[in-house]
């Protein structure tokens, strides 16, 4: 059984500092929902507010439609997986997994049965008598998931659970987490600073910056139609070109940049004279001269071969280089270092947004 | 040569054995990069080290105890006859604890004082723990840094006051006409003053208070290193506060608990001043008996024997408790 989670104008302050600023969200029951943002943006704070370890300074948290004010973490239908897992080192794997049942007074026989089932689910059958310290990182991870699932929460809260694992394992665990979520069918609220994780696993993503939710949408929308410059620059690679809008209609605007006038989509209905940023993703660029107002020419600084593609770095107008991802197929000649190269893009694949804060590199 | 002096050969023999073992080991596993002790430290410093360590271990630690052990196996003799034909090895001092030497009856007086002292020490330890655990937990996990500093200060400063002053001020507080009785009678809880001192309340309070820090600090140390997330995880899984303590905090802090309880028990059982100042008139603490043998009766052999009986009983009791709670001795001194 799953339950939705509503944040209703939730603000969390620590003294003068506002860690979460007026967050309003409606997470549906059974959804895999991610909070994505750089470290320190308030993700853990939101999760602790949902789980009941923090009280919002203002606003309401509702789970399954019920207001959670005054309900402690041990009484909420949520289970939290901690960033450092927080498994109990003095208990065996089975004891860890069934601890939530034990405090509920479930009989020993029942607990053993449940432990067996959950060990099966997390692919660690027969390992219940091991100590936690005898497990590998990935196994500990799975035990933490089983321990949380054992109490049959309606909402599972995961705080960067994969951050301690190495890259290979992390990618493997993504699929596994997603599979477990589909199997148990409960709401997952997942926190990460890794956009790859958020994009691959989530039904929807909330992108956060400095305590403010910037955009809530599915991964494709967040990637293709970012709402703010922060989202555009934080999710995936992007090349920003700042300037002022010189002409605009309902779909396309032209912006005067250090590289000349450039065209892009105009979803925010900017008017001539507005300060704005054009974003073109590295993979949207093609080598060679294109149509006017969609071509950039600059000195080639370097190239990085990555197997399936090559990243070419051109000198930008700011400190940041312009990155072009060149797919590996016959026709492409990688420009030599120092050579002046022209690159072009399809304006429909770019976006112009009102000026705003970019993600820190 | 007298057996008293013979015993001092023991440390010399032990040192000699270790010396030989070290020599042999060097012969077996020769490491050419290894530098000798004197090579590393220089001769002057090396000799100073050895002399200081030897002085400390031999003269301050080993020899006095050895002397006492030897003494406890001898009869009480006037100085003239020491080393004479009557100065034989004997178990009579240990026996006198169980059977009165003069009339051959059971020595119930001393044995009951002994049992009372041990039971009272257990109670003091339990009382002390019950008080210290919440305090240590608060300091280690719950309190803000500023409040913790304040509590620390509040715990330490009273120790600057000397023991006698502390004991007598407690007496004043608990006496028949003391503050507490006046207050109790004032608000009408009792009409007659309660004689706290003769029912040993003063003794328990005084001893618990005297060794509070000895309990609080090991507990604080142990609990402080517990990851807060462990506590929150248990809470998140639905545990009420007391189950969190039962299942997560106490098992984790077990070595600290064992260490604190061991020390408080040992110190309480061996304490002298607090029982004398705060015990009731009919209370006989075992160490007072030992004290009297040494300084009133000048019967050092019997005093030493009694002291070793106390020591052995305390060690045995502590070992038993450690085993019961499955803590290894090594853990308690971490
Ligand atoms: N208990 C606290 N007291 C004061 N500041 C806090 C506390 N917890 C978090 N913060 C601050 O709130 C901000 C957000 O923290 P957090 O939610 O942990 O970020 P994230 O999980 O996104 O990395 C940080 O700047 C952090 O320093
Ligand atoms: Mg965090």
Residues B63 and B203 in one domain: no
Domain boundary among A224, A249, A264: A224
What does the pLDDT read at residue A154? Answer: 94
Q: What range does the domain containing B60 cover?
A: 3-72
CATH number for the domain harbouring residue A309: 2.40.50.140
Residues B155 and B35 in one domain: no
Residues A275 and A187 in one domain: no
Residues B67 and B114 in one domain: no
Q: A233, A240 in Cβ contact below 8 A?
A: yes
Report CA Rg, chain B.
26
Residues B270 and B327 in one domain: yes
Q: Is residue A286 part of a domain?
A: yes
Q: Are the beta carbons of A147 and B247 separated by less than 8 Å?
A: no
Residues B37 and B154 in one domain: no
**Residue A164 sits at the chain B interface (C-beta within 8 Å):** no
Minimal C-alpha gap between A246 and chain B (Å): 55
Evaluate: CB of A19 within 6 angstroms of ligand 1.
Answer: yes
Domain boundary among A224, A247, A275: A224
Evaluate: CB of A49 within 6 angstroms of ligand 1.
Answer: no
Q: What percent of chain A has pLDDT over 70?
A: 99
Total structural domains within chain A: 2
- Residue A17 CA: nearest ligand 1 atom is 5
For chain B, 334 residues long, give each residue's pLDDT as a single digit of tens: 466 677 778 888 888 898 898 888 777 766 777 777 777 878 888 888 888 888 888 878 888 888 888 888 988 888 778 777 777 888 888 998 998 888 888 988 899 999 999 999 999 999 999 999 999 999 999 888 999 999 989 888 878 888 888 888 888 888 888 888 888 888 888 888 888 887 888 888 888 888 899 999 999 999 999 999 999 999 999 999 999 999 999 999 999 999 999 999 999 999 888 888 888 777 788 999 999 998 888 888 999 999 999 999 999 999 998 888 888 777 766 5
Evaluate: CB of A185 within 6 angstroms of ligand 1.
Answer: no
Q: Are the beta carbons of A84 and B227 separated by less than 8 Å?
A: yes
Q: Are the beta carbons of A100 and B238 separated by less than 8 Å?
A: yes
Total structural domains within chain B: 2
A321: phi > 0 → left, psi -120 to 50 → alpha, else beta; which? beta
pLDDT tens digits, one per residue of A289-315: 888 899 999 999 999 988 888 899 998
- Residue A14 CA: nearest ligand 1 atom is 4
Q: For residue B49, what are the contacts with CB-CB under 8 A and spacing of at least 6?
A: B41
**Residue B227 sits at the chain A interface (C-beta within 8 Å):** yes
* Pairing state between β A5-14 and A58-63: antiparallel
Minimal C-alpha gap between A350 and chain B (Å): 44
| Cα A38 to middle of ligand 2, angstroms | 9
Which of B233, B240, B247 has the CB atom closest to A82's CB atom?
Answer: B233
Evaluate: CB of A141 within 6 angstroms of ligand 1.
Answer: no
DSSP, residue by residue, B77-95:
--GGGTTSTT----SHHHH
| Cα A81 to middle of ligand 2, angstroms | 12
Nearest bound ligand to the CA of residue A83: 2
Q: What angle do CA B201, B202, B207 make, to 5 degrees?
A: 105
Q: Are the beta carbons of A151 and B251 separated by less than 8 Å?
A: no
Residues B221 and B135 in one domain: yes
Choose the residue to mutate in A10, A11, A19 for probing ligand 1, maximizing ligand atoms within 8 Å of C-beta. A19
Which of A88, A90, A103 has the CB atom closest to B238's CB atom?
Answer: A103
* Pairing state between β A32-36 and A351-354: unpaired
Q: How far apart are the C-alpha atoms of A115 and A11, rounded to whole Å?
A: 39
Q: What range does the domain containing A299 cover?
A: 229-354
Residues A134 and A250 in one domain: no
**Residue A14 sits at the chain B interface (C-beta within 8 Å):** no
Query: For the whole model, what pTM was predicted?
Result: 0.81
**Residue A72 sits at the chain B interface (C-beta within 8 Å):** yes
Residues B64 and B187 in one domain: no
Residues A37 and A184 in one domain: yes
**Residue B233 sits at the chain A interface (C-beta within 8 Å):** yes
Evaluate: CB of A16 within 6 angstroms of ligand 1.
Answer: no
Lowest mean pLDDT among A13-27, A325-339, B110-124: A325-339
Q: Are the beta carbons of B237 and A51 separated by less than 8 Å?
A: no
CA A91 to centroid of chain Cα atoms: 33
What does the pLDDT read at residue B3? Answer: 63
Angle at which helices A108-121 and A137-150 pack, to 10 degrees?
130
Residues B318 and B255 in one domain: yes
Residues A194 and A275 in one domain: no
Residues A289 and A162 in one domain: no
ipTM of the complex: 0.84
Residues A212 and A287 in one domain: no
Residues A234 and A184 in one domain: no
What does the pLDDT read at residue A330? Answer: 66
Q: How far apart are the C-alpha atoms of A176 and A136, rounded to whole Å?
A: 16
Residues B56 and B128 in one domain: no
pLDDT tens digits, one per residue of A143-162: 999 999 999 999 999 999 88
Per-residue b or e along A185-219, where b marks 16 or more CB atoms closer than 10 Å to that residue's CB: ebbbbbbbbebebbbebbebbbbbbbbbbbbbbeb
Domain boundary among B72, B97, B123: B72
CATH number for the domain harbouring residue A13: 3.40.50.300
Q: Is residue B269 part of a domain?
A: yes
Which residue's CA lies nearest to atom 3 of ligand 1? A14
Assign A19 a pLDDT band (cuts: 50, 70, 90). Answer: very high
What does the pLDDT read at residue B1? Answer: 44
Q: Is residue A359 part of a domain?
A: no
* Chain A residue with the nearest C-alpha to that of B233: A86
What does the pLDDT read at residue B311? Answer: 93
Q: Are the beta carbons of B247 and A99 separated by less than 8 Å?
A: yes
Task: Between A13 and B71, name the one with better pLDDT.
Answer: A13
**Residue B304 sits at the chain A interface (C-beta within 8 Å):** no
Q: Is residue A360 part of a domain?
A: no
DSSP assigned state of B103: T
In the sheet where A309-314 sits, what is the strand order?
Answer: A285-287, A340-345, A295-305, A309-314, A322-327
Q: For residue B112, what are the contacts with CB-CB under 8 A and spacing of at least 6?
A: B284
Q: Is residue A104 part of a domain?
A: yes
Residues B44 and B172 in one domain: no
Residue with tokens 């939290």: A80
Minimal C-alpha gap between B253 and chain A (Å): 11
A338: phi > 0 → left, psi -120 to 50 → alpha, else beta; which? left
Cβ-Cβ contacts under 8 Å between A and B: the total is 60
């Amino acid at each position: 059984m799953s339950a939705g989670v509503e944040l209703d104008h939730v603000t969390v302050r620590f003294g003068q500092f506002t860690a979460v600023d007026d967050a309003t969200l409606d997470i549906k029951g059974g959804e895999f929902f991610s909070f994505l943002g750089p470290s320190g943006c308030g993700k853990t704070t939101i999760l602790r507010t949902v789980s009941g370890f923090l009280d919002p300074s203002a606003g309401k948290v509702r789970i399954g439609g019920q207001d959670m004010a005054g309900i402690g973490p041990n009484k909420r239908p949520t289970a939290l997986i901690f960033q450092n897992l927080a498994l109990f080192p003095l208990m065996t794997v089975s004891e860890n997994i069934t601890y939530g049942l034990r405090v509920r007074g479930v009989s020993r026989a029942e607990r053993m049965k449940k432990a067996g089932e959950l060990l099966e689910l997390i692919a660690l059958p027969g390992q219940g008598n091991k100590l936690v310290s005898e497990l590998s990182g990935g196994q500990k991870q799975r035990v933490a998931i089983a321990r949380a699932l054992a109490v049959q929460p309606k909402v599972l809260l995961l705080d960067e659970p994969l951050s301690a694992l190495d890259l290979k394992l992390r990618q493997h665990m993504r699929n596994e987490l997603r599979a477990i979520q589909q199997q148990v069918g409960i709401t997952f609220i997942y926190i990460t600073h890794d956009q790859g994780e958020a994009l691959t696993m989530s039904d929807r993503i909330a992108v956060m910056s400095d305590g403010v939710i910037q955009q809530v949408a599915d991964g494709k929308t967040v990637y293709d139609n970012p709402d703010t410059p922060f989202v555009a620059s934080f999710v995936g690679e992007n090349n920003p070109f700042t300037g002022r809008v010189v002409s605009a209609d309902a779909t396309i605007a032209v912006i005067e940049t250090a590289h000349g006038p450039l065209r892009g989509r105009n979803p925010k209905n900017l008017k001539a004279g507005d300060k704005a940023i054009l974003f073109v993703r590295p993979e949207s660029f093609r080598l060679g001269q294109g149509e006017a107002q969609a071509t950039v020419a600059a000195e080639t600084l370097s190239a990085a071969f990555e197997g399936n593609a090559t990243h070419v770095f051109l000198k930008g107008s700011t400190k940041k280089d312009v990155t072009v991802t060149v797919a590996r197929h016959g026709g492409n000649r990688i420009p030599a270092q120092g050579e002046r190269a022209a690159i072009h893009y399809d304006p429909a694949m770019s976006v112009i947004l009102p000026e705003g804060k970019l993600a820190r590199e | 040569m007298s057996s008293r002096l013979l015993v001092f050969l023991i440390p010399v023999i032990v040192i000699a054995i270790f010396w030989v073992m070290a020599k042999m080991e060097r012969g077996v596993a020769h490491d050419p990069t290894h530098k000798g002790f004197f090579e590393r430290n220089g001769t002057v410093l090396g000799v100073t080290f050895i002399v200081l360590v030897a002085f400390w271990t031999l003269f301050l630690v080993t020899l006095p105890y050895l002397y006492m052990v030897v003494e406890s196996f001898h009869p009480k003799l006037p100085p003239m006859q020491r080393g004479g034909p009557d100065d034989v090895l004997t178990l009579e001092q240990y026996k006198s604890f169980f059977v009165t030497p003069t009339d051959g009856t059971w020595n119930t007086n001393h044995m009951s004082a002994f049992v009372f002292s041990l039971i009272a020490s257990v109670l003091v330890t339990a009382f002390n723990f019950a008080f210290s655990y919440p305090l240590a937990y608060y300091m280690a996990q719950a309190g803000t840094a500023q409040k913790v500093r304040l509590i620390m200060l509040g715990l330490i400063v009273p120790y600057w006051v000397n023991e006698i002053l502390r004991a007598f001020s407690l007496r004043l507080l608990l006496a028949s006409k003391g503050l507490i009785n006046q207050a109790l009678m004032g608000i009408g809880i009792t009409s007659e003053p309660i004689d706290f001192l003769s029912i040993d309340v003063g003794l328990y309070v005084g001893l618990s208070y005297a060794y509070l820090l000895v309990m609080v600090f090991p507990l604080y140390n142990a609990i402080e290193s517990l990851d807060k997330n462990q506590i929150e995880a248990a809470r998140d899984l639905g545990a009420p506060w007391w189950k969190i303590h039962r299942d997560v905090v106490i098992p984790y802090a077990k070595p600290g608990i064992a260490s604190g309880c061991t020390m408080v028990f040992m110190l309480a059982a061996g304490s002298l001043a607090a029982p004398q100042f705060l015990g009731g008139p009919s209370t006989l603490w075992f160490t007072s008996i030992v004290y009297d043998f040494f300084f009133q009766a000048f019967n050092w052999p019997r005093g030493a024997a009694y002291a070793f009986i106390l020591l052995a009983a305390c060690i045995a009791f502590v070992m038993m408790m450690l085993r019961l709670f499955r803590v290894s001795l090594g853990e308690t001194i971490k």
